[in-house]
Structure 1
């Protein structure tokens, strides 16, 4: 899996794409920054969700869900160890 782009880089690319002049395509901006056009499209879509312009799960909510799921898995494992120890 390729290494993810830094948050600052993604924010800069999205800012440039949003402020583009008429006639400048997303493909041109993506090419200039060395990312795939679909990657830029996904970044723009996620930025719209994060800004509240579109419905969906924001980046912060997604991170909270990942952390909660990780914690649940850990607690389930600990519970299973305790259950086996008492049996």
Structure 2
């Protein structure tokens, strides 16, 4: 189970959208993330991370998308479960011989 969310999802989406729009405008691009983060009471690095991930998810930047990261986590969890089951079966086989 992951850590509790510090910021509501609605705030995260709104802040990300505002930052992306502000960075598109050359007049408000400089310091947009810091300014918007301060206005909304968010840590600037959190907003910067959200904007970066939105770029990856949108295909504008290289990296692992949110959906891919979730799938990788599922596969890793399944792998651990299968390794555990395999170890139990090997122990049972060795015990029965």
Calculate the TM-score normalised by the size of structure 1. Answer: 0.87
Q: Which runs of 5+ in 2 are unaligned?
A: none
Q: Which runs of 5+ in 1 are unaligned?
A: none
1:78 aligns with one of 54, 60, 85: 85
Q: How many pairs align?
A: 87
Q: Which deviates more from structure 2 when the two are superposed, residues 39-48 or residues 9-18?
A: 9-18
Q: Deviations over 1:15-59 (max 9, x none)?
A: 011122633621121012211111111111100000000110000
* Higher Rg of the two aligned structures: 2
Superposed CA RMSD: 1.9
Calculate the TM-score normalised by the size of structure 2. Answer: 0.79
Runs of 4+ in structure 1 off by over 4 angstroms are none
